[in-house]
Amino acid sequence: MHDVPEIYGFTCGRRTPARTTDMRGFTLAGVFCLWIDLTIGILIELIPSLPLVNHSVLLRVSQINGTVWSFSWFKGELARSQNQILAYSKRNGPPESPGPLYSPRFGSYSNASLEIVNLYFEDQGTYTVQVTTDRQVRNATQLHVYALVTKPIIRSSALYAVGNQTVTLTCDTKNFEKIHWGRIGKTLPTAVIWSYNYSAMTFPNIKSLDAGQYWCEAVNAVSKMTSDIYTFNVYCVCGSESGLSAGEIAGIIVGIILGLVLLVGGAFLYLFLKRRRPPVIEEPREETRKSHGPPIDYYNVQAMAEPNPANREPAYMDLQYSSRDIYSNLQN
């Protein structure tokens, strides 16, 4: 508790007549007492000091001189009616009355403290309390609402990092205030370009020396999380040694992959067609043919005696006998 100062016979916070008739001295004493009230009158303490979203916080008021008759809470630095959250007065029943910014999540205590449950990020800001005892005092405090950081994940802008390309590694996380980077066994490259909040680093002209195992860490006032190790590979070294551009190297890699695919596909196709081909019947060998000799043709041959020219008959002699040949009918 602070001692109540007494100036020119005027005790701050008491309605006692001044010991002097000097109106000027009375006015100066009143101004001084008002300054005392506004600076050292009361204290506001946050419990907990680092409140989390979806949790509760108590704005506890202490160091009050005298009995609390009434008080009001405001959102903002000014104690204006349009900014009022609630008002409390022992003379009223019920003593608590809502203001324009009131919500069921707000509640008051008779010692002028304010409780907020189920905190939102929108609840952040300045809160002002005005307390009336046998005098009126006022104070304000700043409320910050925090959330736990999410586990970071390192992501790359390129599926395959090829030399002389521009590649960016990003530490993907939420609710962070700071980002820290590291590389196992080595220091971080000096040629990288950092984003404004260090959540991403860019390699403008990547080299094989930039490869390695990277990690990042997200930090805020209430939590800290570290990512899994990210293995960053550079698939070739390009530049003056090879004389090839990044596009040419990429074309060579794609060509090799396509060639392997065609080679494997052709092998499978050959095996498939070979299994479906019908068996081939082989012809007899030449030796087998010779052992059996040349093929023999058989004909039905009627043995006939060679006719005597002297006794030769006419060619159509059989036509004379109708009973001996089918051609005898031609005589009729």
For CA atoms 199, 205, 209, 213, the dihedral sign is: positive
- Per cent of the chain over pLDDT 70 is 68
Residue 45: inside a domain: yes
My answer on whether 131 and 213 are in the same domain is no
Taking the C-alpha atoms of residue 169 and residue 43, their distance in angstroms, rounded to an integer, is: 47
Residue 261's H or E segment, with its range, is helix 246-276
pLDDT tens digits along 117-143: 999 999 999 999 999 999 999 999 999
Same domain, yes or no: 192 and 135: no
What is the domain-level CATH number for residue 87?
A: 2.60.40.10
Domain match, 67 and 138 both: yes
Asked whether the beta carbons of 145 and 51 are under 8 A apart, the reply is yes
Task: Flag whether 54 is in a domain.
Answer: yes
Q: What distance in Å separates the CA atoms of residue 193 and residue 191, rounded to the nearest whole number?
A: 7
Mean pLDDT for all residues in the chain:
79
Q: Is the peptide bond before 48 cis (omega within 30 degrees of 0)?
A: yes
Write out the H or E segment, with its range, that includes residue 43. Answer: strand 43-47
Least-confidence region, from 164-168, 184-188, 216-220, 296-300: 296-300
Distance CA 221, CA 94 (A): 39
> Strand 114-116 and strand 193-194: pairing?
unpaired
Evaluate if residue 156 carries a pLDDT over 70: yes
How many distinct structural domains can be found in the chain? 2
Please write the tens of the pLDDT for every residue from 46-105: 999 999 999 999 999 999 999 999 999 999 999 999 999 999 998 888 899 999 999 999
Structure tokens at 34: 């008002």
Claim: this prediction has a pTM higher than 0.75? no
Q: Tens digit of pLDDT for each residue in 225-238?
A: 999 999 999 887 54
User: What is the reported pLDDT for 268?
Assistant: 82
- Residue 263 has phi, psi (to 5 degrees) of -65, -45
- For residue 248, the model assigns a pLDDT of 72
Q: Which of 213, 232, 251 is the last residue of a domain?
A: 232
Q: Is the pLDDT of residue 273 over 90?
A: no
